[in-house]
Structure 1
C-alpha cells in the first residue's frame, strides 16, 4: 500500500483537493473490486491540527508529527496575492524539503507549483503551471526550467501539472506509474480524460500587465495594441518614443517579461484567435487583419505560440 499525503495549505482551492481525492478514491475502488485491497492509504496534512482529526473521512496529521508519506500532493491555490499566500504557507517548506530528501515523491497541481518553487526543490528542474501564471512563476523562480506548453512534467521524483483540467492528466500519469496502464485507462474513461493530451498552450490568453508605473513602456504597449495590424518592424514600434533604443528595450523586457517584437506577435496571435473563434472569415482575411503578409510566417508563429494550426484551433474553439 502506497501512503499518499495531501497537504491542506492556506488558500487552497477546494476543487483541486476534491479532484485529487475523487481520482484516488476511484483507484482504490478498482483495486477493492479485484479483492486486492485499497492501493493508496490517504492522509491529509496540515500545519494546525486541533480538534479536527479528519477531513471528509480521511485522517488528518500535523506536519510536525513523525509521519512519512511516500507521495505528497500539493493542490492549487485560490488567491489574489500569491506572495502573501506563500508567506502564510511557510511552515510547509522545510517539511517538503525533509520529506523529499527522505525519499518521498512530490507533485504539485496548477499554481501549487509556486509552493514547490519557493522550496527550491525545483531549482535546476523542469516544471509547468497554469498558463496564465507562467510569467509570474518565471519571474519569481528564474532557476527553474519552465515548460509552458506541457500539461505534465516529471523530473527526479518531482511532478507538476498545468492549469485546471491538466491536473487530471497528472493524476492519470501518477496512477499509470504506480498501478499500471490498465487501471489508468479505466480512470481515464471514468473521468473522461484524454490520455494523449500533452500540451496546454492553446488554453492560454495573452493578458499583458498594465499594473506598472513606467510611462514609456505603457506608451509602447498602447502603440502595439492599437496598431498591431500596421506595424512591420521594431523601428516602427519605437519611433517617436522619447528614449534610446537600448534603454527602451531593456525597460520593456524588464516590465513585461518579453521583447517588443514578441509582444507584437502575442497581440497579433491573440487577435487572430478571437477572429477564428467568433467568425467564419476566410483564413486569408484573418492573416491580413492581424498584420501578416506571409501566410507561411503567420502559421509558423501561430503554431509556436498556440501549439496547433490555425485551422485546428478554429475547429476546436469556434463559437457556432
Structure 2
C-alpha cells in the first residue's frame, strides 16, 4: 500500500509561540491517526526548523534521510508571543521562503507571521489577514497588501494567512481539509473538540483607540468622547473643544486615529455595547439607548456591520 506523504515545515523563529509550533505538529499527528482509522492513504510528515537551520538548507529540498530528499508541500510561520523578530526577519529566511514559493510550496502564516511573508513582498496586492491588534502597524508598514483583519483565515491558493494567536487551529484544519477530505477535518475537529464551523476574527475584536499619537488637541477630544459617547455630538462641538477650526480638526483627528470622528464615535459606541452585552442582562433596546442610539434598528445594522453578529448572537457566544 502506497502512502501519499505531505511534507510540512514549521519555522520556529525567535519569539514564536511554542504552543502553536508544537500544537500544529500534534494536530497533524492526530490527523494521521484519523486517516489510518478511515483507511485513507495519506500521511503528514512534520518537521520543525529554527532560523539557523534554514540558513544551511538547500534552497530546493529538505534532507529527510541519507538516501532520500523530499520537497516540502507547505511551510508555516506560526504566531509570535514575544519580541519583534517578525518585524525585521533574517535575510536568509526571506530568501529561502522566496525560493520555496518558486518551487510551488504553499506558504502559510499565523498572526504576526504575516509580517514575514509581507517583508518578502509576497503579499503585495494580495488578500491577507493578521491579528486585529496588529492591523494599524501592518497597514502602515505594508500598504500594498489587501489586509482584511476581520477574517480569521484567508486561503489564497498558494498563500494562506490566519489571524489571531490561536488561529493556528483554523489553519491546521484548513490544511487537513485541503490535503485529505472535509470529513477528515470534521472528524479531527470533533476529536480535538474544536469548532470547525465558519467564524470571523471580528467577533473577537475590541476597539482600542490610539492615545500615544502626541496630538494633545485630539487627545482632549478622545477623553471627552470616552465619557460622553452616548450624547449627540456634532463636528462643530468637537472642533470647538479642540480649539481648532473644523477642517484642521478633522485633518488632525484622522491623522492621529486613522478614523473620522463619526467613525470613531461609532466604533466606541459599539465597543461599549459589547461590554454591556457581555456583562449585563439589559435588553438590546435598553443597551442601544444607553450607548447613544435612539433607533434600535439602526443600532442593530451598525452592530452587525461592525461585529459580524447580531447583538443576540454576540450575547449567546460571549456572555457568561
TM-score over 0.5 for the pair:
yes
* Post-superposition offset of 1:189: 0.8
1:1-320 map, 5 Å: 1-33=5-37, 39-49=43-53, 62-66=54-58, 67=61, 68-79=71-82, 82=84, 85-87=86-88, 89-319=90-320
- TM-score, normalized by length of structure 1? 0.89
Contact 2:42–2:180 (Cα < 8 Å) also in 1: no
Contact 1:45–1:63 (Cα < 8 Å) also in 2: no
RMSD value, Cα: 1.9
In 2: Cα distance, 1:180 partner to 1:35 partner: 12
In 2: Cα distance, 1:165 partner to 1:192 partner: 14
Secondary structure, aligned partner of 2:241? coil
Contact 1:9–1:89 (Cα < 8 Å) also in 2: no
In 2: Cα distance, 1:198 partner to 1:271 partner: 22
Contact 2:86–2:113 (Cα < 8 Å) also in 1: no
CA, structure 1 residues 91+211, in 2 after alignment: closer, same or farther (shift >3 Å)?
farther
CA, structure 1 residues 64+248, in 2 after alignment: closer, same or farther (shift >3 Å)?
farther
Which runs of 5 or more structure 2 residues have no equivalent in the other structure? 62-70
Secondary structure, aligned partner of 1:197? coil
Which runs of 5 or more structure 1 residues have no equivalent in the other structure? 50-61
**Partner residue, 1:57:** none
In 2: Cα distance, 1:274 partner to 1:295 partner: 17
The 10-residue stretch of structure 1 (84-93 or 253-262) with the greater mean CA deviation from structure 2: 84-93
Contact 2:86–2:112 (Cα < 8 Å) also in 1: no
Deviation string 1:238-269 (CA, Å, 9 cap, x unpaired) is: 23322232232222222222222111111111
Contact 1:5–1:71 (Cα < 8 Å) also in 2: yes
CA, structure 1 residues 316+47, in 2 after alignment: closer, same or farther (shift >3 Å)?
closer
In 2: Cα distance, 1:309 partner to 1:127 partner: 25
* Post-superposition offset of 1:36: 6.0
CA, structure 1 residues 98+245, in 2 after alignment: closer, same or farther (shift >3 Å)?
farther
Secondary structure, aligned partner of 2:7? strand
In 2: Cα distance, 1:307 partner to 1:34 partner: 36
Contact 1:29–1:38 (Cα < 8 Å) also in 2: no
Secondary structure, aligned partner of 1:316? helix
